[in-house]
Amino acid sequence: MLPFKKVTVIPNVCSIQPWMVSILVTVLTAIPVTAATTPNPSDLSDGDSGSAIAQTTAQSNPATQAWTLIQTARRHAARGEVAKATEALFQAEQTAALLSNSTTLDQLFATIAAEQAKLGQYDRAIAIANRMSYTSLPALGCCVPVRTDAEVAIVQAYLSAGQVETAQQFAEGIQFASSRDVALVPVISYLAEQGQFREAIALSQRTEAYTDLAHQAILKSYINADRFTDALAFTETIADQNEKSVLLTTLAQWAWRSGKTDLSYQIASEIPESSSRVQLWIEVALAYAKTGAQERALTILSEAYELAKMQPDSQVFAQWSGYFAQVGAFDRAIALADGLTGYDQAHARVIIARVYSDAGRYDEAIALVQRVPDGVLQPFGDMPDLKAEALQYIAQQAVKAGQYGRAVQAANVLQEQGRVKALRAIAQHYQRANQSQEAIATLDQALAVARTVDRTTIFYDRNTFVTVSNAGLLLEIAQDYVAFNQPNRAVAVLDEALESAQVLKVESQDSVREQVRSIGAIARLYDQLGQGERVRAAAEGAFNLINQAPGSERSSVFPAWTVEPLAEVAQMFGIAGDREQAMEMLSGLKTASSTITEPIPRLWGMNAIIKAYGTLGAESQMKETAEAALTLVQSLEPAQRDWLIGLIAVAAASSEPSYALQTIQNQPQQAVYIPTLAQIAANYYAKGQDSQAQAVVAQLQQITEMIPDDSQREQALNDAIRYYFVLPGNQDPSIAQLLQAGQINADIQSANLRAYNWFLIAQAYTRQGETNRANQAIQFSLDTVKTMGDRFAQRELLWQMVEQALSTEDRELAEQLAMGFEEEAYRAIALQRLTP
């Protein structure tokens, strides 16, 4: 029996491209797949993999041994076992002293000194600091020497114990001038927070290199004490005009944020630097408008506008039209827009339209956008079309207000692709509101529009793009029908999408590659709907499409670019239940791709084959190909190896995680692969393979625990949460993924980072419609904010999160965050910003 059971796979033997022959010869003669020659690695349990890492590195690396002892000391300290903690730190110090690398030595000594100081072992901490140099920087390379960090930690430990005089004496005794100034800043801040402003100011006058930091600390304490007038008087003593502008800007901002708009205007008027003064006047004007004082707002905004025009390089930008609209001066805004030309005029009009939409004036918003010519606000294809975005926004706002007719009206102004997107969004809103008939009817409208689209364009960057069919649009609509419990309609639309995807609109490699990817997504949705025969038809269609590669590129040499799409086709045959054909196809593809001479293209191809084998569950073939790829990687420059090994691990994890985890565990610098592990976990979550994802996260956490630098560890965890778990790209994270993000977030020590991550997690839950989970995450964020020792930093973070929630239309989250302000004045203004 021939491996390809349907003749339709091979369109016409005479038309087959020469390079395809090598694959078909292998497939049609049914050459057996070679068994793997490498031994199978042992399966990794969560605990065993971590202990193996610790044991291997600890036996050979004093830095890792010292770090392990520091962690042990921290655990003892958390349990109140001071003597044991002190002893562990002493051992860590002795172990670190064995290091020959002075930078690593100083970095560890800085951490040990800080931990000793927290335990009250000040003399030991000072002795360690004195063994350090001022030449070693932190692992992240910024910004002051690690010895300075250690000295600041000692000062802060003294202050935490209430030993202010001792802290000051120690700081003033530091011989290195810059370090001395930095160490004095916490003392100055402490005195100011205690209301001892005279003493704090006097001490700040004894600093030289970091006087600006001292002044900022004093100003923030004035703000914390609600002493804005005294703070203004303090700024009058600052001689440097740039520094004075910075301080007055901060003071003016927090004045209006606490409801002191008159004082804020007065402070802003004192700012020496004119552009900063203009910006603050704008903020004050908008604050007045929120209180209903429209005339006062217009007066201040006009003053700011006139000052802006007087700047040496002044230009009247479109944003000013938006400012006038926000204070209710729509006639002035439109007149200003009409005075502009080209891009600026179009931009001004869509900005005003958004403000009209916020005010519920949808007809005026739509009419104004209609005056903007198509394309003028998208000068380059990779840039967003601001006109389309404005219409999408108007439709979104109208839907939220229950004005579905207005939403459809806005959608119909859009060009075809944008109209499809807007109509789908309206349909989804209907579905969430349990209005199923309206949802289906609106989605039917979107389908009708999508059918009129002949081709779409995908931009990789400004100069690189690819033209494809409308299959992607149809696929998205089919996915919506599935979500709306309309499987028959979904299958019918998928049939249309498959037919469309099999026709090239432009003959190019990229077009073929992208349309094969679309067919792969179609096949997977067919499979989800139980349409096995259609899955096979999709696989055959994709194979035929690859054979339509541009005639100018026909060659007897196997083209590297075809490996990825052909491997995708093999996966489709596997999904269709024809594992034998899939495996034989991959075997032929593997043989043909071995003729690729350039290592990077060959590795890309091998990566696609590894992924396909893994998806099919062909462990031995996957491992054999991966081992060959890893061997090839070793022939490359060191700078290229890590990211390529990471790609191989991600591909190998398309099966189960043990081999990928073993691959990473075998690398000398495992911390480099934390993003790789995060990507693997995110991929598993996207496929609903939660247990595999959790196994990967367990190794990720074990590796981060062994990073001998707090800042690096925090950054690694933070990046994993934000880029791979909460903001993973086009697809929203799953509930399990967000729960995992919360667990990882608990490992982050910085309250600021942890609180902000909880906010991001809450936003992600909101997008999923998980209101209760979102509320819980926001409460975690608020609880974490309260643990921050710096009151000013608390307010700063809360305000940042409120503003971001408003910018993404998460008004319920914004309201909860606004309620987190302890001071009534700040809470009232934050809540006021929620009003349209």
Residue 462 lies in a domain: yes
Which residues fall within 8 angstroms of residue 818, CB to CB, at 6 or more apart?
Answer: 798, 802, 827, 830, 831, 833, 834
Query: In the Cβ-directed half-sphere of 226, how many Cα atoms lie within 13 Å?
Result: 8
Convert 678-700 to b/e letters by CB count within 10 Å (16 or more is b). Answer: bbbbbbbbbeebbebbbbbbbbb
Backbone angles phi, psi at 468, to 5 degrees: -135, 175
- Picking from 13-17, 269-273, 547-551, 560-564, which range would have the lowest pLDDT averaged per residue? 13-17
pLDDT at 613 exceeding the cut of 80? yes
| pLDDT for the residue 141 | 59
Per-residue confidence at 559, pLDDT binned at 50, 70, 90? Answer: confident
620 within some domain: no
pLDDT for the residue numbered 729 = 64
Q: Do 287 and 264 meet the contact criterion of CB atoms below 8 Å apart?
A: yes
φ, ψ for residue 456 (rounded to 5)?
-130, 165
19 pLDDT more than 70: no
Segment among 18-32, 212-226, 575-589 with least mean pLDDT: 18-32
Helix (H) or strand (E) holding 516: helix 509-528
Lowest mean pLDDT among 39-43, 430-434, 495-499: 39-43
620-636 residue pLDDT tens:
999 999 999 999 999 99
Give domain status of residue 788, yes or no.
no
pLDDT, one tens digit per residue, over 174-212 is: 999 999 999 999 999 999 999 999 999 999 999 988 999
Phi, psi of 423 (to 5 degrees): -65, -35
485 within a domain of the structure (yes/no): yes
Give dist(CA 611, CA 563) in Å, integer. Answer: 12
Residue 39, pLDDT score: 31
Q: Are 10 and 4 in contact (CB under 8 A)?
A: yes
For the domain that residue 432 is a member of, what is the CATH number? 1.25.40.10
User: Between 354 and 314, whose confidence is greater?
Assistant: 354
Please enumerate in sequence order all residues whose Cβ is within 8 A of that of 545, keeping only pairs 6 or more positions apart, or say none. Answer: 501, 502, 504, 512, 515, 516, 519
* pLDDT at site 54: 34
The model's confidence at residue 30, banded by pLDDT at 50, 70 and 90, is: very low
pLDDT of residue 708: 86
Per-residue pLDDT, 58: 40
Three-state helix/strand/coil letters over 22-49: HHHHHHHCCCCCCCCCCCCCCCCCHHHH
Give the pLDDT of residue 22: 42
Assess whether pLDDT exceeds 80 at residue 731.
no
201 forms bridges with which residues in the sheet? none
Q: Is the pLDDT of residue 365 over 60?
A: yes
User: Which residue is listed with tokens 């007055």?
Assistant: 248
For residue 480, the enclosing domain spans 417-549
- 478 within a domain of the structure (yes/no): yes
Q: Where are the beta strands (DSSP E) in 638-738?
A: none
What pLDDT is recorded for position 60? 55
Q: Write down the pTM of the prediction.
A: 0.88
Q: Does a structural domain hold residue 60?
A: no
More confident residue, 34 or 188: 188
pLDDT of the residue at 195? 97
First to last CA, the chain: 70
Q: In the prediction, which pLDDT does 730 show? A: 58
pLDDT at position 7 is 29
**Contact partners, residue 189, CB within 8 Å, separation at least 6:** 200, 217, 218, 220, 221
- Examine residue 659 and state whether it is found in any structural domain, yes or no: no
Q: Which of 464-468, 470-474, 493-497 has the lowest mean pLDDT?
A: 464-468
Classify residue 446: in a domain, yes or no: yes
User: What three-state secondary structure class fits 291?
Assistant: coil
Exposure string (b/e) for 705-743, b if CB count within 10 Å is 16 or more? ebbbbbebbbbbbbebbbebbbebeeebbbebbbbbbbe
Share of the chain above pLDDT 90, in %: 80
Q: Give the Cα separation of 728 and 798 in Å (integer).
A: 24
Q: How far apart are CA 20 and CA 558, in angstroms?
A: 7
- In the chain, how many domains are there? 1
Residue 323 has pLDDT above 50, yes or no: yes
Question: Tokens representing 427?
Answer: 């349909």
Dist. CA 487–CA 217, nearest whole Å: 62
SS3 577: coil
Contact, 167 vs 151, CB < 8 A? no
Q: How many residues appear in the chain?
A: 836
Cα gap 173→155, rounded to integer Å:
11
